[in-house]
Structure 1
Amino acid sequence: MVHIASVRVPALAGIAALMVAAAGSLAAVSPAAAAGPDLAAAQAIVDAHSKIPDFVPPGPPFDAKACMAGKKLLSIPVSSSIPFVDGIESSMAGVAKEIGFEFQQWKNQGQPTQWVQGMEFGTNNGFTAIDLMGGIIPSSLGPQVAAAKAAGVHVFASHYADTTQPRDPAAEVNLALPFNEVGKTIAAWITVKTGGKANVLIIGSEDVLPTDPYRKKIESTLDELCGDGCKHSYVNVTIPNWSTKIQTTVQSALIADPTINYIVPVYDSMSQFVLPALTITGRKDVKIATFNGTPFIIDMIQKGDVEMDVGESLGWIARSTLDGYMRKLCGLETYDTLNVPLYIFSAENAKDAGVPADFDKGYGDKHVDGFAKLWGLK
C-alpha cells in the first residue's frame, strides 16, 4: 500500500556478505501441497479481477451536503511521504470540496510522535472527527483517542487492517480492506503464468498490520492451487528499512537460490528497491507481481520492469472512506469494509491508466457518478 520516494540504494557489497545475510533473513521454504496445479481455478480468480469494476452502492442514498454542512474532518495518514497514501488524502480533499465541508491532512513523515501531535491538533481545534488512515492502529494512540472522545471529537480509521482481522474498538468506524483477497489473486496469477512451476520470494513489511494475513494468503493459495511444483520463501523488511535492506536481501536470496522466478513485494512501492537487485545479479528474467496500483509502478509495467499490479482506485478509496464516515456523522447506519474493488494491471491494460499513469485512471468512472448520485450531488 505504500511508496517511499526514490532513494539510491547500496550496490552489491560482496558475495560472501550477501550469503550470510541470506542465511540469517530468509524464512524456511514452505512445503507445497502434494498435488498438481489447479490452473482452471487459478484462472477463474484472475478473470474475476480482470474486468472494469462495477459500482455497488454501499447503502441507501442521503443528502451529504445538508448533513455535512459546518463539519470538519482532520485526516492523519500513516506517512505523507508515501505517494499512494498521499494520493488518497488528495482525493479525499477534492471530494470534500465537492460536498462542501472542511477537510485537512495532517502532514507527517510516519513518526508516532507526529501522529500524537496531529491527534492533539484535531482535538484542540474544533474538528468534528479525526481519521487515522493507511496504517495507524487506533489503540496505539489510546490516551490521545480518549482525549479526543472526551472533547466530543469522533475518531475513525481506514485502510489499516484486513477484513479477517478484528476491528479496533478505539475507533468508532473501522473501514478494512480485503488484503487476503489480494494475496489470493497474486498467487493465482503466478500459478497461471508459471503453469504450476513457481519459486516465489515474498517480501513483507510486518509493521503494517494487514501484512500477516495478506502474505499468509499468498502462501496458502500457492500451496492449494500451484501444487507440488511450487515453493515459496518469505522475508520481512520494515518500512524504514525499505531503501537500505530490500535490494541486498533480494540479491542474497537470488544468489542463495537461483531458481527463484517470482518476487512479490507485498506493497508495490517496494518494487523500486527490487529492480536494482535484479540488474546486479543478472536476473531480469525474474517477474514481479505486487499490489496497490501506484502510478509509477504501473509506469514500470508499461516499460516491462514489473509484470502485474493488483490496483485499487485512490478515488474509489477516498469516496468509500468518506461515505462510511459521513454516514456515521449523519446518524445513518455505516459499515466496516471499504467498498473498493480490486483490478489487475498488466502489459495488456497498463496504458489505460495513462501515460504516465495516474492514480485514478484505468478503473472506469462508474464510482464517480455512483457516489455523486448516492450523495444527492446529481
Structure 2
Amino acid sequence: MKFPKLAASLVLVVGVSVSLAACTSATGSSSAASTATAELTSAQTACVAAVKADVEASTAVTALVAPTAPLDLAKLSGKTVWFITVSMNQFSTDMATGVQAAADAAGVKIVTYDGQGAANRFNEGIQQAIAQNAGGIILVGIDPAVVSSALQEATAAGIPIQNTLNSDPSDPVPAGMYDNFTSDFTKDGENAAKWALVDSGCTADIVSLYSSSVGVWQKMYDGAKSVFDEYCPEDCTFTGLNVDVANVSTDIGSQLGTALQKDQNVNYVYPVWDSATPFVAPVLAAANSKAKVLSRDGLQVNLDAIVAGDQAMTTAMPPTAWIGWAAFDDIAREMTGSALLDYVIPTRMIDSTNVGDGSASSTFPEYDGYADAFTTAWKS
C-alpha cells in the first residue's frame, strides 16, 4: 500500500510575486519579468500568458514535505543501511550527513561508500553491502543498468535498494529496486525554460549545456527544449550543447565559446547543473556576452551569486541534509514493511525576487526545524 505522491509542485503561494520590471545586467540579478505588453507582439503576449502561472507557482514558498505516519523503530534495531554514491562531492557529503543524523535518531548504523565515479566500485559497494548483511541500500546517482547483476544478488538476499536521484518520479522502478526517490527533473527543465520565456517576453535566445551520459541532465534538457518548441517556436532560439562530462571544463569552454561566436544574440545560458557555472562565467566574459545564467540544484555558491547579482536563477532543492532524512525515512519504511510515502523531492526556482540573503531560512523557510518533524512522526 502506498500513500499519494508528496508532489514537488506542492507549494504555498505566500507573499511571493514576480517582478514586472526587466533586469538589464549581464548574468546578474533578475526575475522572470515580462516586457510591457505594448512592446510584445500578439504571439509573444500569448506565449507569456501561457507560462506565467507556472513560473509564479514554481517561485513560491515550498511547503515542508515530511512524514506524518509513525515508524516502528524497534524493527530497525541492529540494522545497517549502506549509503552508496556515485562520488563523494559536496552534495553527496551533505546528503550523507542528513542520512547519518536520521539514522542516529532511529538507532541505525550507516556505512558510507564512495563509488569514485567507477562502475567497478559501484558493483563492489553493493556486493560488500550484501556480504555484510545490509538491511537496505541507498544508491545515489548510479545508473541501475551498470549494476544490474549486483542488484539481482541484493534482491536474492532480500535487501531493498532505493533508486536515488537517478530518474523522474513517474519512471518505471528498475528491476531489483523498490522505489524512485527523486525530483521531477523533466518538470524542472520545463519550468526553467518558462522562467526564461517570461523574463524575456518570449524573445529568449538560449544555449543549454547538458550531457547525454547523465540521465537526469538529459531529462532537464529535453524538458526545457519541449517548452521552447511548444510555446515559442518562432520568436525564440534554443540551442543544446552536449558536453563530455569527463572533460567538462574544457568542453564547456570550447563548445560555448563557439556557440557565442556564431550567435551573438544569445541572452541566456542554461547549464542544467549548478557546478558547471564556474566554467561558464569566463567564457561569457571572454565573449563580452551579457547573457543571463540559469542553472539547477541550489548550491550555496550559486545562491550567493544570485544575492550578489552574478547569476539570474537556479532551481533549488531543499536543504541537502533534509534530502538525507527523507531518503532514510523512505528506506526505513520499506525495511519495516510500512506504507511508503512516495516522496518527490520538491524544488523552487530562486531568483532576485525570493533569494533573500541566500540562506535556507530565506529560500526554504518552511524547512526550519525539519528534523523535529521526522522524529515526532516516527514516535507518534
TM-score, normalising length: structure 2: 0.82
Report the AA paired with residue 71 of structure 2. Answer: D
Alignment correspondent of 1:95: 102
How many residues were matched structurally? 335
* Cα offset, 1:119, TM superposition: 1.3
Report the counterpart of residue 44 of structure 1 in structure 2.
53
Greater shift in the superposed pair: 60-69 or 252-261: 60-69
Q: Distance in 2 between matches of 1:209 and 1:170?
A: 19
Are the aligned partners of 1:73 and 1:103 in contact in 2 as well (CA < 8 Å)?
A: yes
Task: After TM superposition, give the deviation of residue 365 of structure 1 in Å.
Answer: 4.0
Partner residue of 1:292 out of 291, 297, 301 = 297
Q: 2:191 matched to 1:188?
A: no
Q: Which residue is equivalent to 1:331?
A: 337
Alignment partner, residue 31 of structure 1: none
Aligned-partner Cα distance in 1 for 2:131–2:294: 44
Question: Equivalent residue for 2:181?
Answer: 175
Does the alignment pair 1:72 with 2:80?
yes
Classify the secondary structure of the residue corresponding to 1:130.
Answer: strand
User: Quick one: which amino acid aligns to residue 186 of structure 2?
Assistant: N
- Tell me, yes or no, if the aligned pair for 1:288 and 1:307 is still in contact at 8 Å: yes
Aligned residues: percent identity? 25
Query: Could you say what secondary structure the match of 1:94 adopts?
Result: helix
Q: Is the 8 A contact 1:79 1:110 kept in 2?
A: yes
Alignment partners' CA distance in 1, 2:308 and 2:208: 22
Instruction: Give the distance between the partners of 1:68 and 1:41, measured in 2 at CA.
Output: 49
2:363 corresponds to which residue?
362
Aligned pairs for 1:1-378 (under 5 A) are: 35-36=43-44, 37-56=46-65, 61-80=69-88, 82-133=89-140, 135-283=141-289, 285-313=290-318, 314-334=320-340, 337-354=342-359, 362-366=363-367, 367-376=370-379
1:5 matched to which residue of 2? none
Contact 2:59 2:354 in 1 (8 A): no
The two structures have a TM-score, normalised by structure 1, of: 0.82
Following superposition, the deviation at residue 111 of structure 1 comes to 1.2
Q: Out of 168-177 and 201-210, give the one that drifted further.
A: 168-177
- Shift in Å at residue 218 of structure 1? 0.6
Distance 1:61 1:113, change over 3 A: same
1:333 Cα shift? Answer: 2.2
Residue 22 of structure 2 corresponds to which residue in structure 1? none
Give 2:142's aligned amino acid.
I
TM-superposed CA distance for 1:138, in Å, is: 2.1
How far apart, in 1, do the equivalents of 2:212 and 2:111 lie? Answer: 29
Q: Over the residues paired in the alignment, what is the CA RMSD in angstroms?
A: 2.2
1:99-136: CA deviation from partner (whole Å, max 9, x where unpaired)? 22111210232111211221122111232112211x21
Cα distance in 2, alignment partners of residues 109 and 119 from structure 1: 14
In 2: Cα distance, 1:290 partner to 1:45 partner = 18
What runs of 5+ residues in structure 1 fail to find an aligned partner?
1-33
CA contact under 8 A between 2:183 and 2:346: conserved in structure 1?
no
Give the Cα–Cα distance (whole angstroms) in 2 for the partners of residues 107 and 338 of structure 1: 24
Q: For residues 216 and 210 of structure 1, do their structure 2 counterparts lie closer, same or farther at Cα, with a shift above 3 Å needed?
A: same
| 1:329 positional shift | 0.6
Alpha-carbon separation, structure 2, partners of 1:223 and 1:370:
42
Deviation readout 1:280-337 (Å, 9 max, x if unpaired): 1111x111111111111112222222110010112332222222211111111225x5
Return the alpha-carbon distance in structure 1 between the equivalents of residues 49 and 233 of structure 2: 13
1:38·1:227 contact (CA, 8 Å) conserved in 2? no
Q: Is the 8 A contact 2:64 2:366 kept in 1?
A: no
Q: Which amino acid aligns with 1:276?
A: P
SS at match of 2:59: coil
Give deviations 1:67-100, integer Å, cap 9, x for gaps.
32211101111111x3223222222112222222
Cα distance, 1:368–1:222 mapped onto 2, change above 3 Å: farther
Determine the C-alpha separation between the residues in 2 that align with 1:258 and 1:282.
Answer: 9
**Higher relative contact order, chain-length normalized (CA < 8 Å, sep 6+):** 2
Supply the AA of the counterpart residue of 1:286.
A
Q: Retained in 1: the 8 A contact 2:162–2:177? A: yes
Q: How far apart, in 2, do the equivalents of 1:251 and 1:281 lie?
A: 7
Consecutive aligned runs of 4 or more in structure 1 exceeding 6 Å deviation: none
Contact 1:243 1:273 in 2 (8 A): yes
Structure-2 change in CA distance of 1:323 and 1:261 (3 Å): same
User: CA shift at 1:252, angstroms?
Assistant: 0.9
SS in 2 for 1:131: strand
**Which stretch of the first structure deviates more once superposed, 185-194 or 320-329?**
320-329
In structure 2, C-alpha distance between the alignment counterparts of 1:265 and 1:219, rounded to whole Å = 13
Query: How far apart are the structure 1 equivalents of 2:130 and 2:209?
Result: 37
8 Å contact kept, 2:62–2:366: no
Contact 2:305 2:311 in 1 (8 A): yes
What is the CA distance between 1:164 and its match in structure 2?
A: 4.3
